[in-house]
Every structure is written in structure tokens, then in C-alpha cells.
């Protein structure tokens, strides 16, 4: 798992009387904090935001649709641009061997805002 974050103009995160140095940085930062986990009811909570897709909340629908999480080997995504509230998003996908390459565009600007790929262990019989 790898993540890169760029914050333009960001700074001032440390107490000015105690400047940040790597010498006082924890050896294992993950051990210094409890990693939160997704709640089992998270998909149902999304309905409050207007997500009424039964694929996201009903395990039987997901099974019928072929939602087999064991097929996914790895996922890579790169945010390319911001998305304005209210913009329509268009998702395009291409299958190349065991890799699904995808791109999401903001319809109104016809600009790619997200791109990446999903590597699969195997293909579903329906493909």
C-alpha cells in the first residue's frame, strides 16, 4: 500500500516553540495510534447521502451481480483534478488481460479527474 500527498502552501503543523525534527518522530507511527476500521453499517450510512444502489448494501444483490472481493489482487488510483459539487462523473473502463484500467471524467469539463487500474486474480465467468 502506497500513498502520496501533496499539500500546496501547507505548513505550520508543529508547535513553533518545538520545531519538527526526525529525531523526535516515533519509530513506528502506526503503533502510536489506533487505526480506525470501517463500520459494518457504513454502506447503509451512504444511503443518507443519496446512494440507493442495492449492490452497496445487500449481500445477495452483490452475489448475483458477481461482486466477488476475492477476485481483486490490487487497486491503484490517482486523483488528477478536483471535482466540483453537482458535476456528473463518467467512468470508462478497459480490460487488458487481468487488469481493468479505468478513468473517471467530469462530464461538464470533459476532463479526467481520476485514473488507475485494478489487478485481478482471475476473471469472472460472466466476462
On the question of pLDDT at 62 being above 80, the answer is no
Residue 16 has pLDDT above 70, yes or no: no
Residue with the three cell numbers 467530469: 106
User: Higher confidence at residue 69 or residue 106?
Assistant: 106
Residue 33 confidence (pLDDT): 64
Q: Which CATH superfamily is domain 33-120 in?
A: Hotdog Thioesterase (3.10.129.10)
Write the burial class of residue 56 (CB in 10 Å: 0-12 exposed, 13-18 middle, 19+ buried).
middle
pTM equals: 0.54
pLDDT in tens, 94-121: 999 999 999 999 999 999 999 999 999 9
Q: Strand locations in 1-110, DSSP E? A: 72-79, 89-96, 99-106
Residue 60 has pLDDT above 80, yes or no: yes
Residue 44 has pLDDT above 80, yes or no: no
Amino acid at each position: 500500500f502506497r500513498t502520496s500527498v501533496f499539500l500546496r502552501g501547507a505548513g505550520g503543523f508543529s508547535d513553533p516553540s518545538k520545531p519538527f525534527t526526525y529525531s523526535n518522530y516515533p519509530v513506528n507511527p502506526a503503533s502510536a495510534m489506533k487505526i480506525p476500521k470501517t463500520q459494518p453499517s457504513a454502506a447503509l450510512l451512504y444511503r443518507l447521502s443519496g446512494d440507493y444502489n442495492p449492490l452497496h448494501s445487500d449481500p445477495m444483490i452483490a452475489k448475483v451481480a458477481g461482486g466477488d472481493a476475492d477476485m481483486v489482487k490490487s487497486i491503484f488510483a490517482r486523483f488528477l483534478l478536483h471535482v466540483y459539487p453537482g458535476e456528473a462523473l463518467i467512468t470508462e473502463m478497459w480490460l487488458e488481460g487481468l487488469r481493468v484500467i479505468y478513468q473517471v471524467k467530469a462530464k461538464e469539463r470533459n476532463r479526467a479527474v481520476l485514473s488507475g487500474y485494478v489487478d485481478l486474480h482471475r476473471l469472472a465467468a460472466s466476462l
